[in-house]
Amino acid sequence: MNRRNIYYMPRIKWVMTLLFVIFLLPSSSWAQEARPVAEDPEAEERLIALTEDLRCLVCQNETIAESRADFSNDMRREIREQIQANKTDAEIIEFLVERYGDFVLYDPPFKPTTFLLWFGPLILFLLGLGTLTVYLRQRRTLVEEEKPLTEAERKQAEALLNENKGKDV
Amino acid sequence: MTRYLLPLVVFLIMVGFLFAGLGLNPRQVPSPLIDKPAPVFQLQQLHDPEKILSSEDNLGKVWLLNVWASWCVACRDEHPLLVQLANAGIVPVYGLNYKDERSTALQWLKNFGDPYAVSVVDPEGRVGIDYGVYGVPETYVIDKKGIIRHKQIGPVTVKSMEETILPLVNELQSQI
User: Which residues of B have a CB under 8 Å from any CB of A?
Assistant: 26-27, 29-33, 99, 124-126, 128-132, 134-135
Specify the pLDDT at position B159.
93
Strand pairing partners for B54? Answer: B42
CATH of A41-109, one of 1.10.3720.10, 1.10.10.10, 1.10.8.640, 3.30.1330.10: 1.10.8.640
Write out pLDDT tens, residues A144-163: 776 777 888 888 888 888 88
Q: What is the DSSP string of chain A?
A: -HHHHHHHHHHHHHHHHHHHHHHHTTHHHHSPPPPPPPS-HHHHHHHHHHHTTBB-SSSTTSBTTT--SHHHHHHHHHHHHHHHTT--HHHHHHHHHHHH-GGGBSS---SGGGHHHHHHHHHHHHHHHHHHHHHHHHHHHHHH---PPPHHHHHHHHHHHHHTTTS--
- Percent of chain A topping pLDDT 70: 81
Contacts of B13 in chain A (CB under 8 A): none
Task: Say if the Cβ atoms of A99 and B130 lie within 8 Å.
Answer: yes
Taking only the tens place, the pLDDT of each residue in A47-88 is 999 999 999 888 878 899 988 888 899 999 999 999 999 999
Q: Is any Cβ of chain B less than 8 angstroms from the Cβ of A33?
A: no
**Domain extents in chain A:** 41-109, 113-163
Q: Which residues of chain B have pLDDT under 70?
A: none
Query: What is B34-174's CATH number?
Result: 3.40.30.10
| pLDDT for res B60 | 93
Confidence of residue A1 (pLDDT cuts 50, 70, 90): very low
Q: CA-nearest residue of chain B to A70?
A: B134
Q: How confident is the model at residue A4 (pLDDT cuts 50, 70, 90)?
A: low
Residues A99-133 pLDDT 10s: 998 889 988 888 888 888 899 999 999 999 999 99
- Spell out which residues of chain B touch residue A101, defining contact as CB-CB under 8 Å: 29-32, 132
pLDDT, tens digit, for every residue of B10-27?
Answer: 999 999 999 988 888 877
Q: Do A100 and B32 touch (CB under 8 A)?
A: yes
Q: Are the CB atoms for B164 and B152 separated by under 8 Å?
A: yes
With an 8 Å Cβ cutoff, are A99 and B99 in contact? Answer: no
Nearest CA in chain B to A75: B129
Question: What pLDDT score does B166 carry?
Answer: 95
